[in-house]
Homo-oligomer: A and B are copies of this chain.
Amino acid sequence: MIVVMEKEASREQVEHMVRRIETLGLKAHVIVGTERTVIAAIGEKRSQMKESLASGAGVAEVVPILAPYKVASREVKKEPTQIVAGSLTVGAGVIGVIAGPCSVETEEQILSTARAVKAAGATALRGGAFKPRTSPYSFQGLKEEGLKLLAMAREETGLAIVTEVVATADVPLVAKYADVLQIGARNMQNYRLLEAVGKTDRAVLLKRGPSATMEELLLAAEYILNEGNPNVMLCERGIRTFEAHTRFTLPLASVPYLHHKTHLPVVVDPSHGTGHTYLVPDMAAASIAAGADGIILEVHPHPEQALSDGYQSLTCPQFEETMDKCRRVAEALGKKL
C-alpha cells in the first residue's frame, strides 16, 4: 500500500502515519519526494487496511498495490478452470452454449425450445422458474412447477439445466433440480445468497451487476469460492451507462481482462447485454472472438407470446443461424463449440 501525504503534511503527521502502519503489523518505508512525501507500507494484506489509513490526518490518498481477491486470482492458480456440469462444459478451450427462454411458461414451450436448441448445438438449457422482476405486478415465474418442467426437459434432451435462485431459503429446492445455479445481476452482492450457493455442490453462474466493477465481481465470486465451491462461472451481461439505444452496454473487453486476472471461466449474455433481438447474433459472434468460454442466449419459440423478455429473444431459426456464425468464429480461432 502506498500512503500519499498531502503537500503541506507536517512531520508529525508523517510520523503518526508511520506508527499507525506499524501498529497494523506492516513495515513503513518513508520516501521524501520533491513535492510530497509518500510512505510505502510493506506486508500489505488484502483487507480493509486501506480504509483505516485513508482517514489519517494529512493523508491525500492511499493506493493499494494488491488486488483484494485471493482464491479467484490468476496469481494463485495459473491454469484456467474448466467447469463440467452435466452436458455443459465451460472453459479451457471448450465453449459452452446455454440457451432457452427467459421464463419457463408451459410444458409445451420448454420442451419444444429444449429440443430445438439441442438440435442446433446448445449444450445446456436455461429457463427461469423464480423470476426477480422490477415490478411487483409482473409475472414472477412458475416456481417449483417450473423447476419440474425443466427437469422433464433434461430427462428428454439430456441438456444440463441452468436456472436462477433468488432467495437463500430456495437454494436447497433449486439445487435439487438444477445443474447450475444462476445468481442474477440484481443479487450479485446479496452476500447471504452467495454464501448459500457456495455451500452447495452445484456449479454457479454469477452474473455481473450492472454497476459492478471487475473487482466487486471477483470479490462476489470470492464469497462463493470461500465457502468451498470452486465451480464459479463469471457472466458479463452488460452495464448501465448513458447509452439508451441498447438495454445495457455490453463491454466485451471484460472477457480478456478477466482472463488476465482470474482462472475462472467467463460467459457472455448478449441477450440482456443488448436488449434487442436484431443485435444478438453479431454480439454473440463477437463474444466468441473476444475469447468467451460460453454464451447464454434467450430463445423462445414465439417471442411475441413470451411472458418476459420477448423483445430480446431469438426464435429457434434465428438461434440456429447464430450458432452457425459462432461456430465458424470459434473454429477460426481453434476453439471447440
Contact = CB atoms under 8 A, between A and B. Distances in A.
Interface of A: 2, 4, 7, 20, 29, 31-36, 38, 40, 42-44, 46-48, 51-52, 54-57, 63, 65-66, 68-70, 75, 132-139, 166-169, 186-187, 189-192, 209-211, 213-216, 219, 222-223, 226, 239-246, 249-257, 260, 273-274, 277-279, 282-283, 285-291, 303-311, 313, 325, 328-329, 331-333
A34 B38 contact: no
Contact of A239 (B43, B242, B254): B242
A52 B239 CA distance: 24
A304 B57 CA distance: 9
Max chain B C-beta neighbours (<10 A), residue from A38, A75, A211 = A211
A51 B309 contact: yes
Nearest to A73: B7
Given A186-B189, A279-B257, A136 B211 contact: no
Nearest to A43: B34
A133 B132 CA distance: 22
Copy number of this protein in the oligomer? 4
A210 B213 contact: no
Max chain B C-beta neighbours (<10 A), residue from A34, A216, A291 = A34
A216 B243 CA distance: 11
